[in-house]
Amino acid sequence: MVAKVFSAEGPSLAVNLETVSEMMSRTMPDFDFLILSIHPDFPVGDVNYYVQKVFQTDRYLAFQSIDAFANDKIVQGIVALVLKFERKGNVGLKVFNGLSKYKETDLLDRFSDFLRENNDKYHVIISSPLISTLDSFIEDLNGQFAHLENVVGGVSPGFKDKRLLAYEFTKDSIVEDGFAVLSFENFAVASSVSLGFEPYGISYEVDHAEANRLYSVGKGDPFLNVVHSILRGISNPDLNYLRYCPVAFIDENGNVQNLRSFKDIGNSYVEFFGNVKRGQKFKLSFALADRLLDSDKKAVMSVKKDLKTIDLLLNFSCRARQYVLGSKSVDEVKTYMRIGNAPLFGFFTLGEIGKGATSEHLKLHNDTSIVVGIREL
Partner 1 sequence: MNEEVKLKILENILKEVSRRYDELVKLQEKRMKQSFEMAVRDPLTGLYNRYFLKDVFYREVERAKRDNTCIALIFLDIDRFKTVNDRHGHETGDKVLRNVAELLRNSFRPYDTVVRYGGDEFVILSECKGFDFEKRLKELVIDLERRFKRYKISISYGFAFTPKESKTLEGTIAIADKRMYQMKKSKYHK
Which residues contact partner 1 by CB under 8 A? 200-202, 204, 226, 229-234, 240-241, 244-245, 284, 286, 288, 323, 326
> Which residue, 226 or 265, is less far from partner 1 as judged by CB?
226
Return the half-sphere exposure (C-beta side, CA atoms, 13 A cut-off) of residue 118.
Answer: 23
Pair 132, 275: CB distance under 8 Å: yes
Min separation Cβ 215 and partner 1, Å? 18
CB nearer partner 1, residue 14 or residue 230 = 230
Query: Element (H or E) spanning 355, and its range?
Result: strand 352-355
As measured in angstroms, the least distance from the Cβ of 323 to partner 1 is 7
DSSP string, 216-259: EETTTEEHHHHHHHHTTT-SS--GGGGGG--EEEE-TTS-EEEE
Provide the minimum distance between the beta carbon of 84 and partner 1 in the complex, in angstroms, as a whole number. Answer: 42
Q: Within a 13 Å sphere around the CA of 284, how many CA atoms are in the beta-carbon half? A: 13
**Smallest gap from residue 327 Cβ to partner 1 (A):** 11
Contact status, residue 60 vs residue 36, Cβ threshold 8 Å: yes
Longest dimension (CA), the chain: 65
CA distances in angstroms from 242 to 235, 270, 289, listed in the order given: 14, 11, 14
Q: Which of 123, 116, 226 has its CA nearest to residue 180?
A: 123
Contact residues for 338 (Cβ-Cβ < 8 A; gap 6+)? none
| CB-facing half-sphere around the CA of 155: CA atoms within 13 A | 31
Listed in order, strand segments (DSSP E) in 65-128 are 68-70, 73-75, 78-84, 90-97, 122-127
Question: Closest distance between partner 1 and the C-beta of residue 290, in Å?
Answer: 13
**Least Cβ distance, residue 226 to partner 1 (angstroms):** 6
CB of 328 to partner 1, least distance (A): 13
Of 145 and 286, CB closest to partner 1: 286
